[in-house]
Amino acid sequence: MTLPFSALTHLECARCGRRHDADRVQNLCACGSPLLARYDLDRVRDSLSPADLAGRPQSLWRYHELLPVRDPAHVVTLGEGMTPLVPLPRYGASIGVPGLVMKDEGLIPTGSFKARGAAVGVARALELGARGIAMPTNGNAGAAWAAYAARAGLEALIAMPADAPSITRAECAAAGAGLYLVNGLIGDAGRLVAEKIAAEPGVWMDAATLKEPYRIEGKKTMGLEIAEQLGWRAPDVIVYPTGGGVGLIGIHKALLELRALGWLQGPMPRLVSVQASGCAPIVRAFEKGERTSEPWEDARTVAFGITVPKALGDFLVLDAVYETGGRAVAVDDEELLADRDRCAAADGALLCPEGAATLSAVRVLREQGWLSGDEEVVVLNTGAAAKYPESFRVDPPVLELTDRIP
Ligand SMILES: Cc1ncc(COP(=O)(O)O)c(C=O)c1O
Ligand SMILES: [Zn+2]
C-alpha cells in the first residue's frame, strides 16, 4: 500500500480527547480546548525511513507525510524551513555553556518562524475551501499569514496592537491584507476579530493562535529539523521564547511523533519556556506547580512577540515543560538586550529580542546550576533582529565634512 502525501487521520482534543473530523474547517473543541492533528504513524513507520528524506527539497515540506496537506497541489510555499543550526562558541563559553547552538529562524521568509505556521495553516485553509483568514497577532504572525494568504490567493484580515513592530504593519499592508491597529494587547485584537468573523459567517476562517489546528503543525517542523540536522538525535535542552507557546508545543509534539516512528531514541530533551519578566504568566504558573496560568496584568516587554498575558494553550506548554523535566524562566528586558549585544560582539550572531531572551535564560540557568555546562543546548532565535530597529540604542559620533576620524 503506498503512503499518501499526508498521513493525517483525524483531529483530537488536547484536553478531553474527543475525536473530530479533519476534513472540514474546525476551530476549538466543544470543551473550549485546541485540537491537535493526528497521523497514521504506524503506516508511516512501515513505509518511510529517515534515509528516504535525504534527497527531498530543503524546505519544511520534506516532512509532508507528517503535515496535514493532503494534495501536493495545495502546498503554498515561499521556500520556508531548514534553517541552520549555528554554534555560538564564544558567547556560549563566556556564560559557561560552550555547547550552545542557535537555530536561526531569522533566515526564513518574512523574517520570523511564523512563516512555518503560516505556510502550513494557509495551505490547509486553501485545501478546506476557506475564502479568507482572519487573525489577531503581535505582528510577525500577521506579516507571515498576510504573505502566504497572498501567495494562495486568499483574503487576509489582520488586527495587531498599535505597539507591535512597525515593519510588520508594512508587511501586512504590502501583501494586500485588511489591517487594523488596536489600542490594546493581542487579546483585545482577538475579541474584535472574533466579532467580525461571527458577523460574516462563511467569509473568514479564524486563524488565531491554536484556534485552528494547523499552524502548530507548521511550527512543529522546527523540532523535526533539529532532530534531522543533529543526525536523528535530540539535544539535551531546547530553549524557546514563549508567547502563545505554539512553537514549544509543536516542538514537543514533533519529538513525540519521531519517537513513535522509532526515528528518535533516548530521553526527551528538557524543554525550557522563556518569558519576559514584564509578561510571565507561564513562569508564574510553573513556579507554583500549576497546570494552567492566570492572566498577567499590565503586560509589557521589548520582546513584543511574547507579550501574551493569557495563552489558550498554556496547559500544553506547562505539560511539555513538566513532562520533560524542563523549566520556565523569566528574564528582564535590560538583561536580554545586553545578552543580545554580547552575543553579537562575541559570535557575530544578532538575535531578535525574543530570541535574545533565550540567551539570558541559558546564562541564568547555568548560574543557578540547573545547567552543568556540559549540555548541548539549542536556543530558538525566532526572528530577524533587523525587524526590531526600535530596540537598539546606538549613538555613534557624527562627523562634519571637515572632521577627521580620531
Ligand atoms: C519573534 C517571535 N518570537 C516568539 C513568539 C512567540 O511565539 P509562540 O506563540 O510560539 O509562543 C512570537 C510571536 O509573536 C514572535 O513573533
Ligand atoms: Zn475537548
Between the alpha carbon of residue 114 and those of residues 256, 297, 305, 357, the distances in Å are: 22, 26, 10, 17
Give me the DSSP letters along 38-69: EE-HHHHHHH--HHHHTTS-SSGGGGGGGSS-
Specify the length of the chain in residues: 406
Question: What's the pTM?
Answer: 0.97
Q: Cell match 483574503: residue?
A: 155
| Helix H or strand E segment including 186 | helix 186-199
Other Cβ atoms less than 10 A from the Cβ of 160: the count is 26
CA–centroid distance, 241 to ligand 1, in Å, is: 7
CA–centroid distance, 28 to ligand 2, in Å, is: 8
Those residues whose C-beta lies under 8 Å from the C-beta of residue 241, and which sit 6 or more positions away, are 274, 275, 303, 305, 306, 354, 355, 357, 358, 380, 382
pLDDT at residue 392 is higher than 70: yes
Pair 223, 254: CB distance under 8 Å: yes
CA–centroid distance, 347 to ligand 2, in Å, is: 46
CA–centroid distance, 16 to ligand 1, in Å, is: 26
Other Cβ atoms less than 10 A from the Cβ of 17: the count is 10
Q: Which atom of ligand 1 is nearest to the CA of 246?
A: 10
Q: Residue 34's pLDDT is what? A: 97
pLDDT tens for 67-82 read: 999 999 999 999 999 9
pLDDT at residue 52 is higher than 80: yes
Average pLDDT over residues 177-196: 97
Measured by CA distance, the residue closest to atom 13 of ligand 1 is: 305
Q: Residue 1's pLDDT is what? A: 66
Q: Which atom of ligand 1 is nearest to the CA of 209?
A: 9
Q: Cell match 505582528: residue?
A: 139
pLDDT tens for 303-330 read: 999 999 999 999 999 999 999 999 999 9
| Helix H or strand E segment including 370 | none
With b for 16 or more beta-carbon neighbours within 10 A and e for fewer, the 221-248 pattern comes to bbbbbbbbbeeeebbebbbbbbbbbbbb
Average pLDDT over residues 364-374: 98
Other Cβ atoms less than 10 A from the Cβ of 164: the count is 24
Q: Residue 2's pLDDT is what? A: 86
Q: Is 365 helix (H, G, I), strand (E, B) or coil?
A: helix
Between the alpha carbon of residue 263 and those of residues 65, 219, 254, 296, the distances in Å are: 14, 19, 11, 39
| Torsion sign over Cα 301, 111, 143, 136 | negative
Average pLDDT over residues 97-108: 98
The rounded percent of the chain whose pLDDT value lies above 90 is 99
Per the prediction, the chain carries an average pLDDT of: 97
pLDDT tens for 259-272 read: 999 999 989 999 99
CA–centroid distance, 20 to ligand 1, in Å, is: 27
Ligand nearest to the CA of 13: 2
pLDDT tens for 123-174 read: 999 999 999 999 999 999 999 999 999 999 999 999 999 999 999 999 999 9
Residues with CB under 6 A from ligand 1: 112, 114, 138, 140-141, 209, 241-247, 305-306, 352, 354, 382-383
Spatial distance between the Cα atoms of 335 and 329, rounded to a whole number of angstroms: 13
Strands 8-13 and 35-39: antiparallel
Q: Which atom of ligand 1 is nearest to the CA of 249?
A: 10
Q: What is the DSSP letter of 397?
A: P
- Report every protein residue that has its C-beta within 5 angstroms of ion ligand 2: 13, 15-16, 18, 29, 31, 33
